[in-house]
Structure 1
Amino acid sequence: MAPKTAAQPPSRLQSELARRILQMLKAQNAPAGHRLVELDLCAAFNVSRTPIRGALQLLAAEGVISPREGRGYVLAKAVQDIPEVASGEDEEDTALFAAMADARARGKLPDQFTQQELVRRFDARLPSVMRVLRLLAELGLVERRPGNGWGFIADSARVLSESYAFRRALEPQMLLQPGFKLDRTWSDKTRAVHEKLRRKPWRPGDGADFHAINADFHEQLARCSGNRAMLKAAQQQNQLRDFLSGQWDYPMDQVHGAIDDHLEILAALEAGYADKAAALMLHHLTTSASQSQKDQPGTTA
């Protein structure tokens, strides 16, 4: 018997097709059990069956779809409950984004730089550098200068202040949208995560761990709003904060205060008091904005 060989990683085309298939299903708001037909996908993306099969196998390995005997694949759950599948390029860009954020926080990334300098400094490919720079430009952090030059637009204190002003207008309104529907499964899960961190003995690094919990809290409430423009805006604000303060270890008192605020907002939403939840959100963001002016580089809202 021939020895087994290690499974080959998916090709870039397969990863990209998997991501595009999922995007298409999300646009269709496909329900659990929705059948995926190879020939239809081949026609939709103008490719042969081989890369489509590879993409479907990748989605199956991620738990997005399930095989059905004689029927190919079906969606394992409602498409709105499925996170995006990262492509190889996504992972490359995420790593570069994090490296640039860390370098900027440590004062190692100057106000002015060129694309080629980033390629050399971070051992990155030029296409990835350009994608990350375009993202940072969309977030209002950098702008293009003459030639291949780029530069940061403003200091982090000003950017965070402007971000909080925008979020105070956005996030309370998310909770008042006519289509707002609290995801009870998520709210139960996030409450348990918040309460666990609130109870545990404090250790160095716990403040940094809260960054992901905090980002998920605000983004999921935006998703519950049913307003896609608000969700996109909330996601962009999370990306902005990832760059400015993702490496910061928040102090215990700020984390505990933010946890208490989050739990109070959840309780109001679960009780059906959207107006109260919106008022609590506004107070939460206002308090955090005031705190951020004292405690650069990070914030906890």
Structure 2
Amino acid sequence: MNVAAAVRRTEESSSLRASRLQADLAARILRMLKERGAGPGYHLVELDLCRMFDVSRTPVRGALRLLAEQGAVEARANRGYVLREPVVSAPDSEPVSLEEEADRRLFVEIAKARNAGRLPDQCSQQEIVRILGVKLATVVRVMRQLQELGLVERKPGNGWSFALPINSGRARQESYAFRALIEPAGLVESTFELDRDWMERSRARHLAFRKRKWRDTLAVEFFEINSDFHEQLARCSGNRYILDSVQRQNRLRSFLNIQWVNGVERVVDSIDEHLEILDILDAGDNARACQLLKEHLVYARDVAPTVT
């Protein structure tokens, strides 16, 4: 089947009947089926797709309906959707929402400007427009996202106040030293209880991200995956102070990590290290997982930048 053409038709039809998320998800499902070499009758399980792509059932159902409209899958009574025939071709690159890409690009540019001292601790939306040469509508959307992440606070009028970042080599070293003491300890707390539902979602999200072709705007999503991994392990510790410390560190290091300078190889290595830690925790060896998490943080501290 000509999957590339099907994806184009899917995106065109989605403009009236489905969200961009559903259209993009439909294309990602097709690429997944191609990578797995799935054959006719392959059963598409909604819950598995939710975990794999870290989304709720609603966009998954919308994506499957779009694929059914294009003839790639068909609905079966009491079975959901199944693949009609093997996927023999698929787009090399994932569909990209221009608005979402613009938002991520600005996110990265704000990180660079903050790290370089070009954006002051307090500034207006109009100042961001002027300094970074971007559209006001994009600035408004991104600043709202930063506010939700706790990285900025709204001031009277159109002003914003940035949270103080880790913005020096010494501060970065101290942050990693602190994290290497606190985070691994949470894994061997007597109150630690692994959230296995989260673990499966996180594992699927890591594996799906690992297959994507890297571009610098993906640093935003990679930071989200990375932060969630560390924060949720801290939550599993059952210790509110460990969790609070990790959440604070995530906020402090956000812009430093979103301006990703360590290359795609470190992205892959970091994902693999996370997956190994999850596997060891799944097997119940928390002491070993504690050691691996400490090694992961120390290595991340010492890795040399590969991008300037």
Aligned-residue CA RMSD in angstroms?
3.2
The one-letter amino acid of 2:263's match is P
Please tell me whether residue 121 in structure 1 is matched to residue 132 in structure 2: no
For 2:273, the equivalent position in structure 1 comes to 261
Please tell me whether residue 194 in structure 1 is matched to residue 178 in structure 2: no
Give 1:244 shift.
Answer: 2.2
Is the CA contact (8 Å cut-off) linking 2:263 and 2:306 kept in structure 1?
Answer: no
1:17-36 mapped onto 2 (5 Å cutoff): none
For 2:214, the equivalent position in structure 1 comes to 203
Instruction: Determine the C-alpha separation between the residues in 1 that align with 2:228 and 2:184.
Output: 16
Tell me which of the two structures has the higher relative contact order, counting C-alpha pairs closer than 8 angstroms and 6 or more residues apart. Answer: 2
Please tell me whether residue 105 in structure 1 is matched to residue 102 in structure 2: no
Instruction: Determine the C-alpha separation between the residues in 2 that align with 1:196 and 1:213.
Output: 11
Structure 2 unaligned runs (5+)? Answer: 1-105, 130-142, 144-153
1:137-176 mapped onto 2 (5 Å cutoff): 141=165, 155-176=167-188
Instruction: Determine the C-alpha separation between the residues in 2 that align with 1:241 and 1:203.
Output: 21
Instruction: Determine the C-alpha separation between the residues in 2 that align with 1:208 and 1:250.
Output: 14
Identical residues among aligned pairs (%): 41
Give 1:297 shift.
Answer: 8.5
Give 1:241 shift.
Answer: 1.2
Is the CA contact (8 Å cut-off) linking 1:207 and 1:250 kept in structure 2?
Answer: no
Instruction: Determine the C-alpha separation between the residues in 2 that align with 1:295 and 1:128.
Output: 39
Please tell me whether residue 177 in structure 1 is matched to residue 181 in structure 2: no
Compared CA separation, residues 190 and 249, structure 1 to 2 (3 A): farther
Please tell me whether residue 215 in structure 1 is matched to residue 221 in structure 2: no
Structure 1 unaligned runs (5+)? Answer: 1-95, 142-153
The one-letter amino acid of 1:256's match is V
Compared CA separation, residues 245 and 99, structure 1 to 2 (3 A): same
Instruction: Determine the C-alpha separation between the residues in 2 that align with 1:224 and 1:250.
Output: 29
Please tell me whether residue 295 in structure 1 is matched to residue 305 in structure 2: yes
Structure 2 length normalisation: TM-score? 0.51
Is the CA contact (8 Å cut-off) linking 1:207 and 1:249 kept in structure 2?
Answer: no
The one-letter amino acid of 1:295's match is P
Is the CA contact (8 Å cut-off) linking 2:203 and 2:275 kept in structure 1?
Answer: yes
The one-letter amino acid of 2:277's match is I
For 2:243, the equivalent position in structure 1 comes to 231
For 1:283, the equivalent position in structure 2 comes to 295
Compared CA separation, residues 239 and 97, structure 1 to 2 (3 A): farther
Structure 1 length normalisation: TM-score? 0.52
For 1:52, the equivalent position in structure 2 comes to none
Is the CA contact (8 Å cut-off) linking 2:189 and 2:237 kept in structure 1?
Answer: yes
Instruction: Determine the C-alpha separation between the residues in 1 that align with 2:169 and 2:157.
Output: 27
The one-letter amino acid of 1:108's match is R
The one-letter amino acid of 1:217's match is F
Give 1:182 shift.
Answer: 0.5
Instruction: Determine the C-alpha separation between the residues in 2 that align with 1:296 and 1:129.
Output: 37
Instruction: Determine the C-alpha separation between the residues in 2 that align with 1:121 and 1:234.
Output: 32
Compared CA separation, residues 227 and 130, structure 1 to 2 (3 A): farther
Instruction: Determine the C-alpha separation between the residues in 1 that align with 2:239 and 2:160.
Output: 26
Instruction: Determine the C-alpha separation between the residues in 2 that align with 1:176 and 1:236.
Output: 21
For 2:253, the equivalent position in structure 1 comes to 241
Q: Deviations over 1:108-160 (max 9, x none)?
A: 236xx7x5x65762489634899845x42xxxx4xxxxxxxxxxxx8422221
Compared CA separation, residues 236 and 253, structure 1 to 2 (3 A): same
Instruction: Determine the C-alpha separation between the residues in 2 that align with 1:106 and 1:190.
Output: 33
Is the CA contact (8 Å cut-off) linking 1:179 and 1:226 kept in structure 2?
Answer: yes
